[in-house]
Amino acid sequence: MRSILERRGTFEASFIAADRTGALSVMGFRPLQVFRQKPFWAKLLGLFLFVILVAMHAMPAHSADSAVREVEDVVVTATRTAVPRQHLGISTTVITEEDIQARRATDVAELLRDVAGFQTIRFGSPGSQTVVFPRGGEPNYTLVLIDGVQVNLGGGDFYWENLSTDNIERIEIVRGPQSALYGSDAIGGVVQIFTKSGSGPASVEVSTAHGLRSDRGRYFGEQKVRVSGGTDLFGYSAAYGRRDDGGILKINNDYWNNTFSSRFDFFPKDTWEVSLVGRLSDSRYEYPTESAGDKYSPLDPNQTQREQDVLVGVSARVQSTPWWENVVSVGYHRNLRRNLDPFNEETDFAESYGRYNEVRATVDYHANLNWKPTEAVTSVLTVGYERDQEDYAQESIYFDTTKLNADRTNDAVYVQEQLSLLSRLHLVAGFRVEDNSAFGTKVTPRGAAAFELRETGTTLRLAAAKGIKEPTFYENYANDSFTLGNPDLDPERATSWEVGLSQRLGSRLQASATYFESRYKDLIAYVPTPFPAPPERVPNFYNIQAAKSRGVELSLEGRVLENTAAGIHMTWLETEVTDDGGLSSIAFQEGKKLLRRPKFSASGWVETRWKNLHCRFIGHYVGTRDDADYRDWTMPRRVSLDDYFLLDAVVSYRVPVPAPAKDLEIFLKGTNILDADYEQVFGYSTPGAAFMLGASMKF
């Protein structure tokens, strides 16, 4: 895969229409009408449209030979094959190594925060629980792959707070249900991370950075080292990263993370490629917060969580003939978490302890069959089989001791056809059949189309798909004093479609927009045990709820001057609970919005270079959104969180150095440099301004 992992960006497409009055209408919104009221988001939209109109007027039409198309962007995750971005009918984004370096990003969640359609929130200080809402879906609706190995827990949960950017070459993001290719948990989108490969003479990269927070003057720092190299027969890359953070709260808020990452590539023949990847993360987080957050609850002085995450993957690509490619991969993932909360009279009813161990082993084989009967027709047929084994073990203590051991298996067959006609119309259709030991047999189809007008630099897109998400082990098999699982649960289901447009503006800019709708059914809800309790216990989880979301994603990126690039991404989102299952819940009320999803969010960046000086400024805006106040558990209530704007900056300077050193860069990174006071989750404090000074060197 090394040959296809080159730098390329992606830009989403979309659909904007005019209503019968002639006013611009986007998904029912009236941006021009609202602009007269001059809220923050309307000003951004006006700027977006103004730049597009000016660029379209000022820049000449371009041909297929335009400089902007000299290197086609390629995406792997969307189809499991290397496909030019223009051929895809679904929305994708690629975050390159250069993007990560320019931002000096510490973790992947920091990068996803600025992706259109994705909302990222953190429950307090660095190291605390971090979740991602894909297009208004649930936090466990995003499938996460590292070099093709799934790292979600059973049921889709993933701990974003501990996924660092160490040794990452690129990140591919595919929006919308992708269960037709990847099965359960790919119900809202896929994020795949590719580890850096090694080539050329042996080299060493080291970096160190140290900073202070405005919150109580707490220290935080990062240390990294990486070695890499290779020949025509093999390549290697290994890295270690350490992160320390003193937190933002007055007691019990330290966090540290160690990450080891490696990749070895072997090329025994010109038509063979074998890769071995490994990743180990070991972290510890002190969290004093209770259920109502740190602002309204006494702080627990000795509550901690320790997590160890291990990944190993082996894959082989064999080009048997010019038309037949074989791909075999084996993946192993293990996540071990331990929560410890000794009894504290001010905060606890009793001592609690939890140990949760999940293991996933996967074997996948698929064949890519290429067929080109004429110059006008190209076909790639993918046929595959996947076997998945999940094991879960839990031991917890809270008033009494609970032990739970369970396992599930899944066999799947998937088929996908990619058909290109006249090098303009690109069609994708496929389906996957799952046979799961817990929920039985399910079929998930998808289809997409992209039409290129190369003379005008336009790409039209349309896609529709269904997705599923399996229940968690606890929802299936819980059996303690408070909860009984339901082994007969169905997976949660999603039906989604999108339509879009991408437009090249001259040789430097790319504009895009996407309209999408998603409907979620069979959502799993907790149903309290009735009072008085029945003679025999009944399950507490049922598929009884539903919701929907729809939205618009707008994007504009490019090089505005010779040494200056900029981009802006905006998302309008509407969500609604369509069936609350007859339950009275503040968090899920029929006819109300889903919690913590802003109606409008935007992010933008400006990057400029002058000789050896490099500056990047990143702005992030989140509009108002609903949340829940649980200070009084007997009468929780809905609240509205204020909008906020964050500004980050990175300034770096490359210093000429003599051999054997190749490169020395000194950098200064500031986050929330305006020291904004804001809330991502009601009741939880957020970090103030922080600055970090560091240096990196290559040998």
Of 23-37, 94-108, 182-196, 528-542, the poorest mean pLDDT is in 23-37
Q: Average pLDDT, stretch 425-446?
A: 97
Q: Tell me what percent of the residues of the chain surpass a pLDDT of 90.
A: 81
Query: What pLDDT is recorded for position 481?
Result: 83
Which phi and psi angles does 46 have, rounded to 5°?
-60, -40
Tokens describing residue 646: 């964050």
Query: What pLDDT is recorded for position 584?
Result: 82
For residue 205, what are the β-bridge partners?
A: 226, 698
Q: Average pLDDT, stretch 244-273?
A: 96
Cα 646-650-651 angle, rounded to 5 deg = 145
The residue behind tokens 């002190």 is 286
Please give the C-alpha separations between residue 277 and each of 162, 191, 238, 613, in angstroms, as whole numbers: 18, 17, 10, 35
Kind of pairing between the strands at 234-245 and 219-230 = antiparallel
Calpha distance 30→18 (Å, rounded): 10
Given a contact cutoff of 8 angstroms between Cβ atoms, the answer to whether 36 and 536 are in contact is: no
347-357 pLDDT per residue, tens: 888 889 999 99
Query: What pLDDT is recorded for position 533?
Result: 80
Cα 432-438-443 angle, rounded to 5 deg = 20
**Closest-CA residue to 290 (of 474, 512, 128):** 128
Tokens describing residue 494: 């999603």
Given a contact cutoff of 8 angstroms between Cβ atoms, the answer to whether 500 and 91 are in contact is: yes
Q: Average pLDDT, stretch 184-194?
A: 96
Q: Tell me what percent of the residues of the chain surpass a pLDDT of 70.
A: 90
Q: Average pLDDT, stretch 319-346?
A: 95
**Closest-CA residue to 349 (of 287, 284, 290, 396):** 290
Query: What pLDDT is recorded for position 54?
Result: 43
Tokens describing residue 352: 């609690």
DSSP string, 391-423: EEEEEEEESEEEEEEEEEEEEEEEEEEEEEETT
Count of other CB atoms within 10 angstroms of residue 259: 23
Kind of pairing between the strands at 625-629 and 149-150 = unpaired
Assess whether pLDDT exceeds 90 at residue 290. no
Tokens describing residue 97: 């190594």
Q: Average pLDDT, stretch 378-384?
A: 97
pTM, whole model, 2 decimals? 0.90
672-689 pLDDT per residue, tens: 999 999 999 999 999 999
538-586 pLDDT per residue, tens: 999 999 999 999 999 999 999 988 899 999 999 999 999 999 999 988 9
Please give the C-alpha separations between residue 577 and each of 219, 396, 544, 574, 638, in angstroms, as whole numbers: 43, 33, 12, 11, 14
Kind of pairing between the strands at 272-286 and 324-341 = unpaired
Assess whether pLDDT exceeds 60 at residue 473. yes
Q: Average pLDDT, stretch 296-311?
A: 94
Calpha distance 27→510 (Å, rounded): 22
Max Cα separation, the chain? 81
204-214 pLDDT per residue, tens: 999 999 999 99
The residue behind tokens 């080109």 is 372
The more confidently predicted of residues 635 and 492 is 492
Could you give the residue ranges of the DSSP H alpha helices within 225-328? none
Query: What pLDDT is recorded for position 302?
Result: 93
Cα dihedral: 565, 68, 109, 649 (round 10): -10
Residue 385 CB partners (closer than 8 Å, separation 6+): 364, 365, 366, 411, 412, 413, 414
- What's the Rg (C-alpha) of the chain? 25
The more confidently predicted of residues 370 and 401 is 370
Residue 453 is given by DSSP the state: E
Of 17-21, 181-185, 562-566, the poorest mean pLDDT is in 17-21
Given a contact cutoff of 8 angstroms between Cβ atoms, the answer to whether 594 and 547 are in contact is: yes
Could you give the residue ranges of the DSSP H alpha helices within 458-555? 473-477
Given a contact cutoff of 8 angstroms between Cβ atoms, the answer to whether 147 and 169 are in contact is: no
Assess whether pLDDT exceeds 70 at residue 20. no
Q: In the chain, what are the domains?
A: 2-698 (2.40.170.20)
Which amino acid type is present at position 336? L
**Closest-CA residue to 603 (of 542, 557, 635, 640):** 557
Whether cis (ω within 30° of 0) applies to the bond prior to 660 is yes
Calpha distance 101→318 (Å, rounded): 33
42-68 pLDDT per residue, tens: 555 554 554 444 444 444 433 333 333
Most confident of 229-233, 349-353, 481-485: 229-233
How confident is the prediction for the chain on average, in pLDDT?
89
Q: Which long-range contacts (CB under 8 A, 24 or more apart) does 48-53 make?
A: 48/554, 48/556, 48/568, 48/570, 51/509, 51/556, 52/503, 52/505, 52/511, 52/556
